[in-house]
Amino acid sequence: MSAYSPRVGRLIESLRRLPGVGPKSAQRMAFHLLDRDREGASQLARAMVDALDGVGRCARCRMFCEDEACAYCSPQREASGQLCVVETPADLVAIDRHTGYGGRYFVLMGRLSPLDGIGPEQLGLDLLEQQLADGISEMILALNPSVEGEATAYYLADLAARAGVPVSRIAHGIPMGGELEYVDGGTLSHALSRRQPLQGSGQ
């Protein structure tokens, strides 16, 4: 016999779809919304329905957008000639918010993972290939340094090479304020192998 009524059970199971939310967290959220914040729950439900009805993907960069005029595909960004490839919308937002990058983006919505059934078609690489042949002067890879991310980066670099487009990749290594003794071995090895010349007064 279930410990929850049918409606409460469905609410908890729905909340478990969120990333990082397990059974206890979902139960805590559901009980909070039902017991202490029914107005907030109604607002959340309306916002979700509104977003599902009104938010789609840009046909050019694949970022979430609400109309045909995607803010990340403006003429000013296109004029830079740069195209930054990221895995997720969250990666795009992080780069755009914290860096001075002013070019265009392409959101893969994932990374190559044959075991999970994610291939070039699922990542929109046919669309990316078309864009590489359309005035791109540099493709910047801003992918996570995972096994799948590395495989995806090499695949994209090959696409760019065939299109004659130079490729660069963001640096991965020791975070600002980090101490070497606490950095994992993979990150430390990657940082050392990708070391850069130090420009000093004597150079």
- Per-residue pLDDT tens for 73-88? 999 999 999 999 999 9
> Is 104 strand, coil or helix?
strand
List of residues 6+ apart from 57 with CB closer than 8 A: 63, 64, 65
Distance CA 124, CA 146 (A): 20
176 falls within a domain: no
Residue 136's domain spans which residues?
72-169
Closest CA to 111 of 89, 139, 143: 143
**pLDDT single digits (tens) 161-170:** 999 999 999 8
- The CATH number assigned to the domain holding 117 equals 3.40.1360.10
61 falls within a domain: no
130 falls within a domain: yes
pLDDT exceeds 60 at position 1: no
Contact 87, 156 (CB under 8 A): no
Q: Classify residue 191 by burial, with Cβ atoms within 10 Å: 0-12, 13-18, 19+.
A: middle
180 falls within a domain: no
Contact 118, 111 (CB under 8 A): yes
- pLDDT in the model for residue 201: 46
140 falls within a domain: yes
Distance CA 19, CA 25 (A): 11
Is the pTM higher than 0.85? The answer reads no
Q: Please give the torsion angle defined by the CA atoms of residues 148, 150, 70 and 96, in that order, rounded to the nearest 10 degrees.
A: 120
196 falls within a domain: no
178 falls within a domain: no
- In the chain, the number of structural domains is 1
> Is 129 strand, coil or helix?
helix
Contact 65, 51 (CB under 8 A): no
Percent of the chain at pLDDT above 70?
94
- pLDDT in the model for residue 184: 80
- pLDDT in the model for residue 79: 93
**pLDDT single digits (tens) 121-135:** 999 999 999 999 988
Q: How confident is the model at residue 194 (pLDDT cuts 50, 70, 90)?
A: confident
95 falls within a domain: yes
